[in-house]
Amino acid sequence: MTETDAEIAARARLMGVDYVFGFVPDLHGRPRAKLTRVEPRHRLSGPTVTYGPDAIVGLGAAGPAEADCLATIEWDKLRAVPWLPGIGIAPATLSRHGGDYCYDMRLALRRQAQRLTDRGWTALLGVEPEFYVFGPERGSVRPLFGDSPEDTAEVTHDVGATLRASAFLRELADALDAFGLEVAMIDHEFGWGQYEVTFAHAEVLESADRMALFRFAATEIARRHGGRASFMAKPSATQAGSGLHLNFSLVDATSGENIVAQRDPTKGVWRATPTGRWFAGGILRRLHDFTAICCPTVNSYRRFVAPSFQREARDQTWAPIRVALGETTRTAALRYPPSRPCLELRHPDPNANVYLTAALTLAAGLEGIDDEREPSAELNVNTFDLSEHDLCEMGVGRIARSLGEALDCLAESAFARDAIGSPLIEEFVKVKRRELADFEAHVSDWERMADG
């Protein structure tokens, strides 16, 4: 039953919410919103907030005489913002001219999730974003909380490095908990000032919303502590890159049985089911088509280049640069980890729009299930022990080496256009090619230093 305006206002008051951000995601999945007063005399149900498409990157282009978009706030997903008394936040759905808006990225994911619902399945997603916290200066890669090569030679999971950031991490964890985001773990990662948050699995659209809320919380709480949260894939040439690991499960909506992975009773580990292998096979087939969505910036491809931060083998990188399915190998773009019942997509980075990434992943996986497509390549070895010739013989390809290469694949992909719509693909490619042109016109310090 649809709530009345008075009922919505009363429930918001019980939560201590006087104003609400009804957010829509931009091209990178960041929440964008206007602040709306929650009053029963104002219209709250139905389309209530107007947005000019040109005002938010990724929502299409419209001239000055064209109609605005209308946003319908999803009040059942209202959350109070714990560090901003009286303020709430909730996702919104866009419409225009009385119908669905073709640039609504949440709608693109909702449609793919509905395809699973129609089969009696539910898509679950767990997200694992990595990020850095630097000093407030724009472009700075100085860790805010004192981590540096001089402090310790090893900071991965280091108790002291974690404690130095404990005030920030506790406020972030408390905020995420208050949002109901079900944080499973927070840890200090390989880079100095780098952290990872692991979220529990949830329905796929809810998880994408959680990623948007996480970025909002991490950005604002880092600022409250005098720093800056960075979601760059590779902010420093000498430090670890940041990934966004996406863990997909398909479950039977009635029984809750996992469709893509089951426990091996003899070894006590999780293995892909036949359906799970087909799901992975479809994704591998289409991975080149939507890598630009998963890795959407020029900087994204720095993460895939050796040498890396690895001290023991500086010609190696743990980044998932191989188009293959694995179990334990982390250089494969996909893997079924023996420790958990899911398919892990490893090559996205934290600037990826999870709504679009998840929509395309589900579409590719369902195509694979329908075609009963086996994975094109499988790896369970250290790929750096093999030559490029050996890998080619095994049918193991490589992730795109640049944003330009990835955009060309996306622009030509009939699969991607069918999955999320040509308008979204064309808008994404247009915006990103403009960014790429700006980058290619820039003369870097490295080029000047290499001069004669």
SS3 for 323-361 is: EEEECCCCCEEEECCCCCCCEEECCCCCCCCHHHHHHHH
- Omega cis (within 30) before 307: yes
Query: How does pLDDT run along the chain (452 residues), one tens digit per residue?
Result: 678 999 999 999 999 999 999 999 999 999 999 999 998 777 888 888 888 767 888 888 766 667 788 999 999 999 999 999 999 999 999 998 889 999 999 999 999 999 999 999 999 999 999 999 999 998 888 999 875 555 545 778 878 888 889 999 999 999 999 999 989 889 899 888 999 999 999 999 999 999 999 999 999 999 999 999 999 999 998 888 999 999 999 999 999 999 999 998 888 899 999 999 999 999 999 999 999 999 999 999 999 875 444 444 444 567 888 999 999 888 899 999 999 999 999 999 999 999 999 999 999 999 999 999 999 888 888 777 778 888 888 888 899 999 999 999 999 999 999 999 999 999 999 999 999 999 999 998 888 888 86
Rounded to whole angstroms, the Cα distance separating 49 from 73 reads 8
What pLDDT score was predicted for residue 315? 45
| Count of beta carbons in the 10 Å neighbourhood of residue 426 | 13
What pLDDT score was predicted for residue 147? 55
Nearest to 331 by CA among 291, 283, 380, 285: 380
What pLDDT score was predicted for residue 153? 55
Buried b (16+ CB within 10 A) or exposed e, 357-383: bbbbbbbbbbbbbeeebebbbbbeeeb
Question: From start to end of 58-141, where are the E strands?
Answer: 69-73, 79-80, 87-96, 99-100, 121-134
Which domains occur in the chain, in start order?
5-101 (3.10.20.70), 111-449 (3.30.590.10)
**Considering the entire predicted model, what is its pTM?**
0.94
What pLDDT score was predicted for residue 311? 46
